[in-house]
Amino acid sequence: MSAIKRQSSFKMHQPADVLFPLFSAEGEKLWVPGWDYKNVSGSEGMHEDFIFLTHGHSDSVQDIIWLVKTYHPEKHTVQFYRVEPEDKVGLVTVRCIEIEESETEVEVTYEYTALGESGKKFIAHFTEDHYKEFIEGWKTHLVHYFHSLK
């Protein structure tokens, strides 16, 4: 298998306007343990075509290249290309859907295409259960972040 798409969502007791900025290169520094990035686009702030790098997770020694494909803060939607050269390309979509004034559904979609054997191995192990656990980790970190603000 050389491509896969996974989607999951969770609810947060926060307004969409508060949650959405946390799904940016700078915003993730607030709630994702160990997250940091290097801005290589020459401009500041989130916008379409913004490019940044992060260090690879697990065994990867290469930087991951992130490109903002779409950025619609008024719709609380952002998409990133996530490129790991010679491994895989991902399209990550995050949507914050306001349910009520202080309740938001966060919908997260990852689509991966393998570029080589290691990407194919990753996709083979990127099961629905693994993905749900991964996204549940997002919720856990966000809840912890909001509790730390009190």
What is the predicted pLDDT for the residue at 60?
Answer: 55
Whether residue 22 is predicted with pLDDT greater than 80 in this model: the reply is: yes
The pTM (predicted TM-score) of the whole model is 0.93
What is the predicted pLDDT for the residue at 61?
Answer: 59
Mean pLDDT computed over every residue of the chain: 94
What is the predicted pLDDT for the residue at 42?
Answer: 86
Give Cβ neighbours of residue 76 (< 8 Å, ≥ 6 apart): 16, 17, 19, 20, 95, 96, 97, 98
Burial of 129: CB neighbours in 10 Å, binned 0-12, 13-18, 19+ = exposed
Percentage of the chain lying above the pLDDT 90 cut:
90
Query: Residue 62 corresponds to which tokens in the numbers above?
Result: 């290469």
Bridge partner list, 88: 84, 114
Per domain, the residue ranges of the chain are: 3-148
Region 19-27 average pLDDT: 97
CATH 3.30.530.20, domain 3-148, yes or no = yes
Q: How does pLDDT run across 53-101, given as a tens digit for each residue?
A: 998 665 555 899 999 999 999 999 999 999 999 999 999 999 999 999 9
Residue type for position 122: F
